[in-house]
Amino acid sequence: MKFNGACSKYITFIAFLFFFCLFKTDAQLFSKDSITDIQTKDSVVALFNSTVKGNIGLYNGSEYLYGGHNVKGFPYFKSDDILNGSVLYDGNLYNDVSMRFDLTTNELIIPDYTRNFPIKLLTSKLDYFVIDSSRFINAANNYGIPLPQTTDFYQVLYNNKSTVLARKEKQLILSSKLDENDSHYMEFNWYYIYVNGKLYEVDKEKSVLNAFEEKKTDLKKFIKANGISFKKDFENAVVRTTVYYDQLKN
């Protein structure tokens, strides 16, 4: 996942090198007696403090190269636009972070501190992140749930007595004809319910009800009474059914 040693160091320490060069005593960037130059220095320091210093540990990543040119759709979670969120990275929590989650590479992308180019954060340092109010956890960490793919991020759709998780992935489907540009991204989703100490992979109403075997009759009535459709909106249907199951268990 790392780019290479030189680039990684460049990304991590570029802020320090930049400001060091600005303030070298033998540099001719500023004159000693100029009030304007002193104000300029103050402005540079203020910029550093507001945009870099507090988040310097966040910029420890490698360059991200976008590879989806001339492809219909986008590889990211939810939107092609940059979204806002927070991230627990290398033991530190960072809020108000601009980010994209690449579902084709399973990587979290943020702008570098200059906002001139994107970098991908190191998955090994990522505990969890929240993007546009959607929380993703790193399966490599021990959350007490036997997740099947420990190298991926899982979206936490609901977490109480029971937990509903989703693993989301996009694949690049290349055009089948050379004279037609029909290359596009296709999304695949896998859903899981963790209940009573067991993990169930679910893909239809029947498998969801089987996970809640002892309350199956009550849940069938709830689903019918509320017009819940697993075919039209499976994700929402799973969450609503699980929430009601937890209420029945009170």
What would the pLDDT profile of 73-119 be if each residue is shown by its tens digit?
Answer: 999 999 999 999 999 999 999 999 999 999 999 999 999 888 888 99
Neighbours of 201 (CB within 10 A): 13
Q: Do both 214 and 91 map to the same domain?
A: no
Q: Do both 198 and 219 map to the same domain?
A: no
Domain containing 144: what range? Answer: 5-202
Q: Do both 121 and 178 map to the same domain?
A: yes
Q: Do both 154 and 207 map to the same domain?
A: no
With 60 as the cut, is the pLDDT of residue 175 above it? Answer: yes
What sign has the CA pseudo-torsion 68, 69, 70, 73? positive
Q: Do both 124 and 158 map to the same domain?
A: yes
Q: Do both 57 and 100 map to the same domain?
A: yes
Residue 1 has a pLDDT of 37
With 80 as the cut, is the pLDDT of residue 206 above it? Answer: yes
> Which residues contact residue 45 at a Cβ distance below 8 angstroms, ignoring those fewer than 6 apart?
none
Q: Do both 216 and 166 map to the same domain?
A: no
Q: How many domains does the chain have?
A: 2
For residue 116, what are its two tokens?
A: 């001139």
Residue 170 has a pLDDT of 96
For 79, phi then psi, to 5°, come to: -155, 155
For residue 66, what are its two tokens?
A: 């976008």
DSSP state at residue 199: E
Q: Do both 44 and 132 map to the same domain?
A: yes
| pTM for this predicted structure | 0.77
Q: Distance of CA 106 to CAs 11, 82, 169, 203, 212, Å?
A: 21, 16, 8, 22, 31
For residue 70, what are its two tokens?
A: 């001339």
pLDDT in tens, 17-46: 444 444 444 444 444 455 455 455 555 555
